[in-house]
């Protein structure tokens, strides 16, 4: 991997981590197009640069997080199911899930269709979006966490599954997006920390690796900051239909490339 690859993947991670379109799917597609092998350093790099995206969330929402103890409590209860499932399935996720392009293809398609179905129900007034984060109960927080746990399957999209699950529960799109951002903080930090503990540090200390990791982290932070701001503004006036269609198109492109 070169510094050029680091910047490209950092940009892709920052843009796609919080959009409901699967950052994993995009990073895998980018790696295929750039002809990067999925070696141990490549896998660690893709997890590590997620921390840059998380830094952007903390930068934007730190004051809100520190001033709202009830919100922190809800986030903790949402995080627990993901933490348990992620820990138990760690080896399966790394060694099987991320090696299955068919699984990624299926996840992109199926969640995209769920987006379209949810928006159809809203349009037909079968589903109403009226709730905000402050209305959330602890039980709902746990249910949201269980849904987020599905994102251990690559291609599902952690933010996407949280947003659509909350919309089905009656939460406004932008409120669901903001909660998905906040929930990402403990979720991704825990995943990155677990990967770090299980990583051979020679991967980090190898020739030029520190610079590559740092550049990817910084690029991810900058692009994630603008991605978050854009998504909130977009969802205040628009639906998930565009993202649903995009996911299906991405799946088809990915399928064609890996044939």
The pLDDT profile of the chain, 259 residues, written as one tens digit per residue, is: 789 999 999 999 999 999 999 888 888 888 888 888 777 778 788 888 988 999 999 999 999 988 999 999 999 999 999 888 877 876 665 555 556 678 888 899 999 999 999 999 999 999 999 999 999 999 999 999 999 998 888 889 999 999 999 999 999 999 999 999 999 999 888 877 777 776 666 666 667 788 999 999 999 999 999 999 999 999 999 999 999 999 999 999 888 877 6
Under a CB-based contact definition with an 8 Å cutoff, are residues 178 and 57 in contact? Answer: no
Under a CB-based contact definition with an 8 Å cutoff, are residues 228 and 16 in contact? Answer: no
Which residues have a Cβ under 8 Å from the Cβ of 98 and sit 6 or more positions away? 24, 28, 38, 43, 154
Q: SS3 letters for 41-64? A: HHHHHHHHCHHHHHHHHHHHHHHH
What is the rounded CA–CA span in Å between residue 193 and residue 79? 15
Tokens of 86: 């992620």
What is the rounded CA–CA span in Å between residue 70 and residue 83? 20
What is the enclosing helix (H) or strand (E) of 37? none
Q: What is the pLDDT of residue 169?
A: 97
What is the rounded CA–CA span in Å between residue 257 and residue 204? 30
Q: DSSP letter for 129, please.
A: -
Q: DSSP letter for 123, please.
A: H
- How far from chain centre, in Å, is Cα 165? 14
Instruction: Report residue 78: phi and psi, to 5°.
Output: -75, -30
Sign of CA dihedral 220, 222, 228, 233: negative
Instruction: Report residue 94: phi and psi, to 5°.
Output: -75, -40
């Amino acid at each position: 991997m070169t510094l050029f690859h680091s910047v490209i993947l950092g940009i892709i991670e920052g843009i796609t981590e919080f959009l409901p379109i699967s950052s994993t799917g995009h990073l895998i597609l980018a790696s295929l197009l750039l002809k990067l092998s999925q070696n141990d350093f490549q896998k660690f790099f893709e997890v590590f640069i997620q921390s840059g995206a998380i830094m952007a969330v903390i930068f934007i929402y730190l004051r809100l997080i520190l001033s709202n103890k009830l919100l922190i409590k809800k986030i903790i209860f949402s995080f627990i199911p993901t933490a348990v499932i992620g820990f138990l399935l760690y080896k399966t996720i790394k060694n099987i899930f991320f090696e299955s392009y068919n699984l990624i293809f299926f996840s992109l398609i199926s969640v995209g269709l769920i987006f379209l179905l949810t928006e159809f129900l809203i349009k037909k007034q079968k589903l109403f979006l009226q709730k905000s984060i402050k209305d959330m109960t602890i039980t709902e927080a746990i249910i949201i966490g269980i849904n987020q746990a599905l994102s251990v399957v690559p291609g599902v999209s952690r933010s996407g599954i949280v947003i659509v699950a909350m919309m089905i529960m009656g939460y406004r799109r932008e409120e669901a997006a903001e909660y998905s951002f906040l929930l990402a903080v403990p979720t991704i930090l825990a995943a990155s920390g677990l990967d770090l503990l299980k990583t051979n540090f020679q991967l980090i200390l190898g020739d030029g690796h520190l610079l590559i990791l740092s550049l990817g982290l910084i690029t991810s932070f900058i692009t994630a900051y603008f991605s978050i701001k854009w998504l909130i503004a977009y969802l205040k006036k628009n639906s998930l239909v565009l993202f649903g269609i995009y996911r299906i198109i991405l799946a088809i492109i990915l399928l064609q490339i890996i044939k």
